[in-house]
Structure 1
């Protein structure tokens, strides 16, 4: 997530520079052929270019709207996780009672620390790379990684979970496929045991189990976004329409500028190159922006800041436990917050 007022041009232009190079080539070749070899047939009417541009603009707008909706839904899900986590922390503290204060404190800590483990396992699962994601397959995204770090790629999940799970639980969780799911299962098993021991009343036990169900619901929503890509058919036609438009743009501009040669001279056709670069860059960047927004958990600079959100939840719940030594909040690096 970018925390600045906007992307700076010295970041944005290099990120999109290949689009500029592409339009420079696509516009220069027909202009050179038109001017030096007198290939007048390269000039086409503007009407087909305008019609294709309308279709490309429509599908680009549709894609960007839908990919933004995926990103915003992901942020709403994590907003709900924040609220559910705080509620779960309060319920654990106030609903679970033991005759010995020290024992009660230990139980509270065990359950809340296990919740930290769930947050950790979930974010690691969401940062796994899928075949349709772009952060490590597109050169411009790989280059942009120099401006920030993805914590889940820099550390090991086993080392992260050690701080929150006992040895027996850690060994079990590391053998499972869906670690976040099994951590909540461990939570439920302990709550059932505490209910059988009389440390949680029936009503409070039901309320706590409902909180676990809510966490499962939010995890499932995250997994749906992570594991179901933006439909490839819509992604493909956006790419095809945009590239077809970029190919025809110089030909259309040649047609328009060639009409002005009698009044303004033959050199007017050279304006085809800058105008084609500018307009083509706009459409190509729209396509690239949509692409960089469609997978909000992949490790892109435009991702939902799930690492920072998880750390903030941890700080809140540690304070509920009365802890004074709290982990530091995660700060943006080059205005990128992960």
Structure 2
């Protein structure tokens, strides 16, 4: 997630470098062609690029709204995951009591691992990295054989709760409440996976880019009598605004792509770990914020 107070210009313009180079080429080529064919080309009224600019603004507004709605849905899902993870451990502690601290710790550590595993799964990274200290070797080996490791860990916790019920450590009502929490976690996982696997139509972006380049061409022709030293920077400046908004919307529409604009799922999983360790009465390491970066993951 981008931190608004520290976004460098190199990032903002770095994500649209290719598009600006294309605009520069198209603008210069159009200006050169317009000067060579000045007696043939009809006068291009400014109303035409103005109309295209208005159309681009409407399309960008629609795309930004859709992309942010998708990003915000992903953020709400992970907020629910954080709440349900804490609720699960509070419920387990309440229903089982301190005399079963070993079983509680096992469930709590597995839930911590689940948050990291789910986040890395959504980002298509090494799913089981750095969780060996949280789950047993047998569970780690079994998880490595599964196609959906987060689902396996939830299933393991569910089976764990069933075993506790059979051993009379949990009563029927406690078991039902805990299973409801597991179901909510599963629902949240499925919602996050749906967002991750649903692709926006690429044709929308292609059409939008084409209209922006057409805008550059028509504006360059409309201003054919104006000095190139003014027109070319103007073309770059206006198109930079369009492309920057489009690129931001493009990044927001995929909130789990391991980019600076992602929903900070690793940070949320880390918060869940700190909170769960606090519930267990363990020391939680204090981390100094990294002032060198302009985003959190």
TM-score (norm 1): 0.81
TM-superposed CA distance for 1:170, in Å, is: 1.2
What is the aligned residue count? 296
TM-superposed CA distance for 1:124, in Å, is: 1.1
What residue in structure 2 maps to residue 110 of structure 1?
106
Query: Residues 39-80 of structure 1, C-alpha deviation per residue, up to 9 Å, x if partnerless?
Result: 551752223322222222211111111111111111111111
Moved more, 73-82 or 38-47: 38-47
Query: Residues 176-233 of structure 1, C-alpha deviation per residue, up to 9 Å, x if partnerless?
Result: 0011011101111110111111111111111100000110111011001100022334
Mapped pair 1:307 → 2:266? yes
The residue correspondences of 1:79-118 to structure 2 (distance < 5 A) are 79-97=79-97, 101=99, 104-118=100-114
What residue in structure 1 maps to residue 188 of structure 2?
218
What residue in structure 1 maps to residue 163 of structure 2?
193
In structure 1, what is the Cα distance between the partners aligned to 2:36 and 2:212?
A: 28
**Structure 2 unpaired stretches of 5+:** none
What residue in structure 2 maps to residue 134 of structure 1?
none
2:232 corresponds to which of 268, 273, 277: 273
Q: Secondary structure at the match of 2:44?
A: coil
User: Root-mean-square deviation (CA), in Å?
Assistant: 2.2
Q: Secondary structure at the match of 1:110?
A: helix
What residue in structure 2 maps to residue 149 of structure 1?
none
Mapped pair 1:297 → 2:249? no
What residue in structure 2 maps to residue 171 of structure 1?
141
Mapped pair 1:207 → 2:166? no
TM-superposed CA distance for 1:36, in Å, is: 5.9
The residue correspondences of 1:59-138 to structure 2 (distance < 5 A) are 59-97=59-97, 101=99, 104-128=100-124
What residue in structure 2 maps to residue 316 of structure 1?
275
TM-superposed CA distance for 1:327, in Å, is: 4.2
TM-score (norm 2): 0.91
In structure 2, what is the Cα distance between the partners aligned to 1:40 and 1:275?
A: 25
1:312–1:329 contact (8 Å) kept in structure 2: no
Q: Using a 3 Å threshold, how does the CA distance of structure 1 residues 222 and 329 change in structure 2: closer, same or farther?
A: farther
Q: Secondary structure at the match of 1:229?
A: coil
